[in-house]
Amino acid sequence: MKIGALKEIFEGENRVAMTPDSALQLVKLGHTCVIESGAGAKAGFSDAAYEKAGVTVLPTAQAVSEAADVLVKVRGPEASEVALLRQGQTLISFFWPAQNAELLEAISARGATVVAMDMVPRISRAQKMDALSSMANIAGYRAVIEAGNNFGRFFTGQVTAAGKVPPAKVLVVGAGVAGLAAIGTSTSLGAITYAFDVRPEVAEQIESMGAEFVYLDFADQVQDGAATGGYAAPSSPEFREAQLKKFRELAPDMDIVITTALIPGRPAPKLWTEDMVQMMKPGSVIVDLAAERGGNCDLTIPDERIVTENGVTIVGYTDFPSRMAAQASTLYSTNIRHMLTDLTPKKDGVIFHNMEDDVIRGATVTHEGAITYPPPPPKIQ
Ligand code: NAD
C-alpha cells in the first residue's frame, strides 16, 4: 500500500506524522511512502532527507491523497482535509471522537476509515502505539524546561565562591504520564521536588524518582480520588478541602509549580487558586499543563504566558509537544509505524483491518462508511 503523510495545517503545529526513519521502517512492511512537500520542515526534516529515504515528495495535499491508500497526520482533519478522503481510504491521526461527532458523520459518509491515535486502548500490548503517553512524556519534560526558562535561578543548589545557592523547590500536581516526566526532569536538574496525586498508588513511583509524595491530613486518602483503569475520579468536597489546605501551606515555599491534573471527560479541576498564586514569592513560576482543558490554576490563560502583579509567571501554553517538534515527530511517527505494523500482519504491504483485534477495533472510529465509535470494552487488559 502507499502511505502518504500530509503537512499539518493547524496554526502553530510543527510536528509531522512521518519521518525519514519511520518511512524506512514502513518500507520493510512492504509499503511505499509519499509526503507533501515541506511537511517535515518545521520538525527539521527536509524534503531532501525524505527523498534520500526513498519517499516520493509530492507538491500538494491533493496529490498525496490521490496517491495514497493510507493518510497519516498528527492533528485531526479539518474540513479541507475531510474533502480529500475517499471511499476505502484510511486516515490515521489524533481525532478526539467524543468531541467531533460531526466530523465522524462527514468522514463515514465518504466511506473512509479513521484510526484515532487518541483511542488506542491503554493496555500493555498497545504501549508502543500509545501516542497520548509519548506526547504527555514530552509535555512533562518541556514543562520543566519552560519553567526553568522563566525562572531566574538555578534548579540545583550550589556552593560557590560567590555564595551559597539554595536548590529550587518544585511541586508537581498530578503524577500521570506527564507529571512523572516532569518529576524525573526536575529531580535530574537537582531541584527538591514534591508531588501530589489523588491516586495514592503513585506515591511509590514518585519516591523512586527522588521526589517526595505530599500526604494529606485526610483519613480516606487511600479511598478517595482513584477511579477505574488508573484514572482519577472527582474528589469529595472534604478531600478537596484537605488538598487545598495542604497546597496553601506549600505555596509560599514553592519556586515552581507544575500542574498536570486531569479527570477523563471533565474540565480540569481547579487546584491552584488565586490566593495561592498571591502567596507565592516574586519570580516563582507556574506551568499549567491542563490549560487546554481550562487549567488547574484559576489564573491560567490558555496559550499565554502572563506575569501577575506579585511577580509570578503563569505559563498556559497548550503546544508543548509541538515546541519539541523533532522529538515529538520521531516518537509519534514511531507510534504510527507500530499501528501500521499491526495493520500489516504479513509484512507484505497489504493492510488487514482486523476488527477482531482489540487495539485496532478500539482505535477505529469509522470503518468503511460506518461509525464504529464508541468501541466495546477491550477483552484483554
Ligand atoms: P491524566 O492525564 O488523565 O491525568 C493526570 C493525572 O492527574 C493522573 O495521575 C490523575 O490521577 C491526576 N489527578 C486528577 N485529579 C487530581 C487532583 N485533584 N489532584 C491531583 N492529581 C489529580 O493521566 P494519564 O497521564 O493519561 O495517566 C492515567 C493513567 O493511565 C495512569 O494510571 C497511567 O499509569 C495509566 N497509563 C497506562 C498505560 C498502559 O498501560 N499502556 C499507558 C499510559 C498511562
Q: Is 127 a catalytic residue?
A: yes
d(CA 281, CA 216): 23
pLDDT at 377: 79
Ligand 1 site, residue 171, Cβ cutoff 6 A: no
The protein residue whose alpha carbon is closest to atom 16 in ligand 1 is 261
Confidence of residue 228 (pLDDT cuts 50, 70, 90): low
Residues 294 and 323: beta-carbon distance below 8 Å: no
Mutating to test ligand 1, I would choose from 243, 260, 320 the residue with most ligand atoms within 8 A of its C-beta, which is 260
Q: What is the pTM of this model?
A: 0.95
Q: Which atom of ligand 1 is nearest to the CA of 196?
A: 20
Per this entry, what is the length of the chain?
381
pLDDT at 235: 87
Residue of 22, 75, 130, 199 with catalytic role: 130
Sequence letter at residue 215:
Y
Q: Of the residues 110, 122, 305, 323, which is catalytic?
A: 122
Measured from the Cα of 269, ligand 1's closest atom is: 18
Question: pLDDT tier at 265 (50, 70, 90 boundaries)?
Answer: confident
Q: C-alpha cell of 273?
A: 487558586
> Which of 58, 53, 54 is CA-nearest to residue 5?
58
Q: Find the 25 Cα to ligand 1 centroid distance in Å.
A: 31
**Residue 378: pLDDT band by 50, 70, 90 thresholds?**
low
| CA 243 centroid distance within chain | 26
Q: Which residue CA neighbors atom 29 of ligand 1 most closely?
A: 230
Contact 73, 332 (CB under 8 A): no
Q: What is the per-residue pLDDT for 200?
A: 87
Q: How far is the CA of 263 from the centre of ligand 1 (A)?
A: 8
Sign of CA dihedral 330, 336, 338, 344: negative
Residue burial 41-74, b: 16+ Cβ < 10 Å; e: rest: ebbebebeebeebebebbeebebbbebbbbbbbb
Please work out, in degrees rounded to the nearest 5, the angle formed at the alpha carbon of residue 256 by the alpha carbons of 252 and 259: 105
* Ligand 1 pocket residue status of 36, Cβ below 6 Å: no
Pocket test for ligand 1, best of 214, 263, 292 (most atoms within 8 A of CB): 263
In the chain, which residue ranges form alpha helices assigned H by DSSP? 20-28, 47-52, 61-67, 79-82, 101-109, 131-150, 177-188, 203-208, 237-250, 274-279, 320-323, 325-343, 358-363
Question: Does the annotation mark 323 as catalytic?
Answer: no
Percent of the chain residues topping a pLDDT of 70? 96
Q: Is 60 exceeded by the pLDDT of residue 18?
A: yes
Given a cut of 70, whether residue 221 has pLDDT beyond it is no
Residue nearest to atom 36 of ligand 1 (CA): 122
The ipTM is 0.94
Ligand 1 atom closest to Cα of residue 133: 43
Q: How far apart are CA 116 and CA 366, in angstroms?
A: 9
**Residue 50 annotated in active site:** no
Report the percent of the chain where pLDDT is more than 90.
92
Q: Among 112, 81, 117, 79, which Cα is nearest to 97's? A: 117
Tens digit of pLDDT for each residue in 105-124?
A: 999 999 999 999 999 999 99
Nearest CA to ligand 1 atom 4: 262
CA of 269 to the centre of ligand 1 (A): 13
